[in-house]
Structure 1
């Protein structure tokens, strides 16, 4: 009789939850070790400090989640998540209002991050081989003999009712998945096992944002959702106003180059008033706030190059923000977590084709190399935006990235007046199409035409305000 197989996931955030859904198809038992105790209702928890802020699930991410959890979209809507047609959203781009048309992209489903995580956790409990080990802090990797193979993790468990009651356990596993996010300790643990820690690429534009939730009443009831982009280096401030479940509106204000929005009520409103369009300020100045202002500034881009390690242990993979963390203001994180899960599924299927089920020889290294290629496009997008800020620190963009930045400026300028350019840009933004679409002659000619136009420079805030609707 073949022995039972076991996979352990470090971290119960979205990357960990989606990994669990995939691993449940390939392993007899899947254990999610999570430091927090999950709340019964969709409320924030310490392990996801950014959950109070705006989360947008791109179309590609929505498709992936629906494939992993059929019917999830309808469940979110039934729980109160609003469905928004793209044409109903006002987008104030770096060069002004984007043209209004009916884009060929699916509706957005808006929700709090807490609601999404709760729904996915509930669906995972339907898999009898998925187990949540709450209150557990992973303290290290277990290795076999010479350390060539990871054999599990050591965990310190807290008692939910008596936190002082600590229980140390070693948990054995055939595969260990690090989905613990930016705070991942795997580089340190690998060093203890005799491996080189991965090189890191860090780019920090010192972007911070603040969020507040309002009751849907008064002028907010008649307000259209709006997203106001920053335009670094000329304009460091932006914001967004979107409805979420519970008949509430979530307002996030952000700024780069340390131009952080204040967390007090007067400062928050003044920051909203300073945006190049008055839509957000007018909507909230007399609205009823039902939560404090919450701030978040952990927005640096961090890429850990596990794919470059000269030696890599068997039976270990790293996913999500534990390997590649993007500035969350660009809304890529949840969708990339879905892409990571898809890649994990595909690589395991190919592994079982090469070897008998359960043999993971070479799997970890192969997966990290494929994942690095998968992350190239979203990583390039994030750093190309953040490198525009004057105070951005870390690795500087190479020539290819600088050319990408210059070309994207022209595309964004063209989309304010051309529906086809705007359509193509949104398809790329939602990861439905490859960025190569923006190089198609029909798009490129319209973008390059902006270079020869008289108004090639970004408009000033005063000019933009004058043209505001």
Structure 2
């Protein structure tokens, strides 16, 4: 009798959804286990507390999602998502002033996170081999007697058994999902591969200890960054030369920042743009959540543009706060693990979300998994899952390095000591931000790196490195040759 291959994905947020889409290319059945009950329309849910905050899909992420779900971009635009030029349409305030706005081919896609997740879930529902098991939590990993490979998961069903599958086909039966009841409320679900995409609340370290394995090494870099956001209706007569405002923090001197992100309108008027306005503070300088405090924080930013905009706009929601913005990496690729288990997304590498690259990193991980499975037979996973975990770790390394390099700049950052390489990166970053104000080619390359289209190493190419050195030397020479303030005062 032929064995039907089965993969289980723990967690049905974006990372889990993208992994499920890729696994559907290679497995006969894919089961997504999600603790929440999904809403019937784009709406916040408990398992994605940061969905109320700005989300943009970088260009590399757009390319991957369009490859996985052809026509998704058009569908999002039809639902009111906003496409904008990363240079022309963005008012970007650097520590050295506003960056010049000019045409580019670097398109951003702005929308609510709820719209993206809902759209992808609907697309996945069209795959007959993908099934959603909602209202359920995994309680432990199942192994062979020698505890050398994972055979599935044990799960607790919070609500009545509720497999959600293609609404146009007959749901698979309980037996077809390879369930084995081990108590009144717990069930065993067997699989050939288990993917933990359960996010920062992942229990894999505890499950591994229970099986006799050591938890993987871990690094946490916490700059105590928090942000508060609320949705506004723009004023009807609003006429400006930007679609988005981006005033990032610039630690250690400037620890407050803010942004205005356009998103789709409400369900009745999706193409009537709304704004998500987000305020951010590091070093525990968290933005307030009361109306007066929110506006006062906005007024304290280096430019009045954001505060003036929201004073004329109409608030549609109260301010929402989110303070869990640390960076944390579990080095599963460095640890001996049981076979047939991989850990992805925030369960492996949690990134400070204020830098906007996490969704694209999830897409890169999904493509890494797809490429791996194209060259590895499923029946060989016992020997290959550790190699897969190493490849997955490479997918988030660029974004991890960028995030911690910035967060190290805050005064109160907790984590391993800063090293010479990070100091150089921070110095180099400062010079870049000064040059992108009026140097189009550097600004363009800088954004290509942020969009994860190119590795950060391109910013060290001779044409840019030479300009950095010349700029730094020029500043030093001016300070050396210019009379000091004290000398001027005594004349």
How does the TM-score come out when normalised to structure 1?
Answer: 0.93
SS state of the match for residue 119, structure 1?
helix
| Larger mean Cα displacement after TM superposition, 408-417 or 122-131 | 408-417
- What displacement does 1:349 show? 1.6
**Which segments of 5 or more consecutive residues in structure 1 lack a partner in the other structure?**
458-469
Distance 2:109 2:147 in 1: 46
Work out whether residues 219 and 287 of structure 1, in 8 Å CA contact, stay in contact via their aligned partners in 2.
no
Distance 1:343 1:29 in 2: 20
**Which of 376, 381, 386 is 1:351 aligned to?**
376
| Larger mean Cα displacement after TM superposition, 371-380 or 118-127 | 371-380
- What displacement does 1:456 show? 9.9
**Which of 241, 253, 276 is 2:302 aligned to?**
276
Aligned equivalent of 2:132 = 132
Distance 1:318 1:221 in 2: 47
SS state of the match for residue 151, structure 1?
strand
Distance 1:385-1:61 versus aligned 2 partners, 3 A rule: same
Aligned equivalent of 2:217 = 199
Distance 1:67 1:186 in 2: 30
Aligned equivalent of 1:465 = none
Distance 1:206 1:284 in 2: 26
Work out whether residues 220 and 284 of structure 1, in 8 Å CA contact, stay in contact via their aligned partners in 2.
no
Matches within 5 A, 1:257-406: 257-309=283-335, 311-352=336-377, 357-406=378-427
- What displacement does 1:448 show? 1.6
- What displacement does 1:221 show? 5.9
Distance 1:222-1:421 versus aligned 2 partners, 3 A rule: closer
- What displacement does 1:104 show? 3.5
Work out whether residues 149 and 382 of structure 2, in 8 Å CA contact, stay in contact via their aligned partners in 1.
no
| Larger mean Cα displacement after TM superposition, 378-387 or 242-251 | 242-251
Matches within 5 A, 1:140-219: 140-159=140-159, 167-218=185-236
List per-residue Cα deviations over 1:292-311 (Å, max 9, x = no partner).
Answer: 100000000000011111x2
Aligned equivalent of 1:464 = none
- The count of aligned residue pairs is 449
Aligned equivalent of 1:91 = 92
| Larger mean Cα displacement after TM superposition, 113-122 or 437-446 | 437-446
Distance 1:192-1:443 versus aligned 2 partners, 3 A rule: same
| Bigger-Rg structure (1/2) | 2
- What displacement does 1:453 show? 2.6
Distance 1:45-1:160 versus aligned 2 partners, 3 A rule: farther
SS state of the match for residue 285, structure 1?
helix
Matches within 5 A, 1:403-442: 403-442=424-463
Distance 1:438 1:222 in 2: 32
Distance 1:200 1:456 in 2: 44
List per-residue Cα deviations over 1:81-112 (Å, max 9, x = no partner).
Answer: 1111221111012322112222342x211100
Aligned equivalent of 2:103 = 102
SS state of the match for residue 56, structure 1?
strand
- What displacement does 1:286 show? 3.0
List per-residue Cα deviations over 1:390-417 (Å, max 9, x = no partner).
Answer: 1100112322222111112111111112
SS state of the match for residue 365, structure 2?
helix
Distance 1:443-1:223 versus aligned 2 partners, 3 A rule: closer
Distance 1:443-1:320 versus aligned 2 partners, 3 A rule: same
Distance 1:161-1:316 versus aligned 2 partners, 3 A rule: closer
Distance 1:439 1:102 in 2: 24
- What displacement does 1:439 show? 1.2
**Which of 250, 254, 263 is 1:244 aligned to?**
263
Aligned equivalent of 2:487 = none
- What displacement does 1:455 show? 7.6
- What displacement does 1:216 show? 2.7
**Which segments of 5 or more consecutive residues in structure 2 lack a partner in the other structure?**
163-183, 266-272, 479-491
- What displacement does 1:375 show? 2.1
**Which of 469, 473, 479 is 1:448 aligned to?**
469
Work out whether residues 235 and 312 of structure 2, in 8 Å CA contact, stay in contact via their aligned partners in 1.
no
List per-residue Cα deviations over 1:48-69 (Å, max 9, x = no partner).
Answer: 0000000111111111110110
- What displacement does 1:368 show? 1.3
Work out whether residues 207 and 254 of structure 1, in 8 Å CA contact, stay in contact via their aligned partners in 2.
yes
Alpha-carbon RMSD across the aligned residues, in angstroms, is 1.8
